[in-house]
Amino acid sequence: MKRKTIDFISLGCSKNLVDSEVLMGLFEANGYDVTHDSDNPQSDVVVVNTCGFIADAKEESVNTILELVKAKEEGRIKKIFVMGCLSERYLADLESEIPEVDGWYGKFNYRQLLTDLNGSKYCTGERKLTTPRHYAYIKISEGCDRHCAYCAIPLITGHHKSRPIEEILDEVRTLVKGGTTEFQVIAQELTYYGVDIYGEQRIAQLIEQMADIEGVRWIRLHYAYPTHFPWELLKVMNEKPNVCRYLDIALQHISDHMLSRMRRNTTKAETIELIKRLRKEVPGIHIRTTLMVGFPGETDEDFKELVDFVKWARFERMGAFAYSEEDGTYSAEHYEDDVPEEVKQQRLDKLMRIQQNISAEIESSKVSTTMPVVIDRTEGDYYIGRTEYCSPEVDPEVLISNTYDLKIGEMYNVHITDADEFDLYGEIVE
């Protein structure tokens, strides 16, 4: 009997990817042949996991759905189902505007899709990784209780909901048994972890226990929030060698004027003190941050403060984006989007040029050092790897000649021989 086929297309963030992997595992356990992000889907069923965060992401999601509608009309696929943030937020509009879709699911009821297709209750299945086997994303919570003026995430995902510690640890143990050694810990706001179910921040305890699991080689932390930072987490980072000296913490801006209008519940002085303390208590830490330009009311002086801050902080990893108004957010309802688009772009370009130079200097400082590197893949004439300071897909990589005989997922000592703005080059230390 021919097995049914189903292809998943996962858009947006790594938190979405985890949801897709969970559902893929369920479908595979129930007799489906499952593929992910095929270039040319030709399946019985295609499921699109959408993003609804910002305008560009929403546009990409809608365009992907429309392309699949065309494929369905041409007979290349049979059914289309949509899940995720976009359909969670705009379900009624989407149902009326794209009736060719066979079913719509939101951010939280997507497991129902398997029951609806099979006509019976589903059996459980292990999460099916779409990443290389040696690393995985671990989602420790959903939702967010912060209410930043520009952000639609709380409107989509609701209040912060932590997963119990033991449930997360069990997932890590299962993945380790399957060969996973590196874990990117993700949440919309991981520093708030545990407050809703334990009455206090428990992120340090969670990471400490995760680090003690045999076989866990690296743990990397994503999406912290600067207010009420749990300082005990830095103690764990120092004491546990498999907790990477890496922190992803979105700061958004530095001027008190902007931080107040953004409803960030912090100040310039507190942010500067945070950066100083992170660097003092975890020597060598690599900080990844995200900044925003063009928020309503941003003046030339506000932007100058931001530029000066970036030059002072010298972030090892930094991304930036221009403000775009999102329906239903505080800023959309209370502020005029008054910074011209060309000014936003000019500010964004200037900020990223400064960061490019900083990044080049930081990466160049690693030349002539030797660092542990995990190998992710091969590409052209190179093996592509990462150090503890590099998260998959978003950070600089290490390129090593493919004249060596290296294994994907294994770690090697690499002598760094050269660098550019975003990548390192190295040789294996025999």
pLDDT 10s digits, 248-295: 999 999 999 999 999 999 999 999 999 999 999 999 999 999 999 999
In CATH, what is the architecture of 370-428? Beta Barrel (2.40)
Mean pLDDT of the chain: 92
Comparing C-alpha atoms, which of 424, 327, 343, 417 is closest to residue 385? Answer: 424
| Measured distance CA(393)–CA(359) in Å, rounded | 16
Does residue 119 have a pLDDT over 60?
no
The pLDDT of 291-320, averaged and rounded, is: 97
pLDDT at residue 5, rounded to an integer: 84
pLDDT tens-digit series, residues 11-24: 888 888 998 898 89
**Site of tokens 């992907």:** 64
- Which residue type sits at 303? F
Does residue 1 have a pLDDT over 60?
no
**CB-count exposure of residue 63 (10 Å: 0-12, 13-18, 19+):** exposed
Q: If you write DSSP's letter for every residue of 56-93 in order, what string do you get? A: HHHHHHHHHHHHHHHHHHTTS-SEEEEEEHHHHHHHHH
Locate the domains of the chain by residue range: 4-118, 135-364, 370-428
Cα-only R_g, the chain: 22
pLDDT tens-digit series, residues 374-417: 999 999 999 999 999 999 989 999 999 999 999 999 999 999 99
Dig out the tokens for 243 from the structure.
Answer: 């907790």
CA distances from 255 to 268, 291, 347, 351, 410 (A): 6, 12, 15, 15, 44
pLDDT at residue 120, rounded to an integer: 58
pLDDT at residue 124, rounded to an integer: 67
Dig out the tokens for 396 from the structure.
Answer: 């600089």
Let me know: does 269 contact 243? Beta carbons within 8 Å: no
CATH fold of 135-364 reads pyruvate-formate lyase- activating enzyme (3.80.30)
CA dihedral of residues 309, 315, 317, 323 (deg, nearest 10): -10
| Measured distance CA(150)–CA(198) in Å, rounded | 29
Binning pLDDT at 50, 70 and 90, where does residue 123 land? low
| Measured distance CA(235)–CA(239) in Å, rounded | 6
Binning pLDDT at 50, 70 and 90, where does residue 37 land? confident
Give exposure, 214-246, as e/b (b: 16+ Cβ within 10 Å). Answer: eebbbbbbbbbbbeebbeebbebbeebebbbbb
pLDDT at residue 74, rounded to an integer: 87
What is the percent of the chain where pLDDT is above 70? 98
pLDDT at residue 84, rounded to an integer: 87
Let me know: does 291 contact 262? Beta carbons within 8 Å: no
Higher pLDDT, 40 or 110: 110
Segment holding 412, helix H or strand E: strand 411-419
Higher pLDDT, 208 or 38: 208
Segment holding 374, helix H or strand E: strand 370-379
Question: Would you call 143 helix, strand, or coil by DSSP?
Answer: coil
CA distances from 270 to 147, 256, 350 (A): 19, 10, 25
**Site of tokens 């999102």:** 326
Dig out the tokens for 245 from the structure.
Answer: 């000296």
- Which residue type sits at 267? T
Domains 135-364 and 370-428 fall in the same CATH topology: no
Right CATH for 4-118 from 3.40.1440.10, 3.40.50.12160, 1.20.1250.20, 3.40.50.12500: 3.40.50.12160
Does residue 86 have a pLDDT over 80?
yes
| Measured distance CA(223)–CA(187) in Å, rounded | 6
| Measured distance CA(331)–CA(225) in Å, rounded | 20
- The DSSP letter of residue 191 is G
The pLDDT of 181-204, averaged and rounded, is: 95
First to last CA, the chain: 52
Does residue 230 have a pLDDT over 60?
yes
| Measured distance CA(188)–CA(224) in Å, rounded | 8
Does residue 155 have a pLDDT over 90?
no
Given 3-state DSSP classes, what are the helix, strand and coil percentages for the chain, each rounded to the nearest 5?
A: 35, 25, 40
Let me know: does 243 contact 388? Beta carbons within 8 Å: no
- The DSSP letter of residue 280 is H
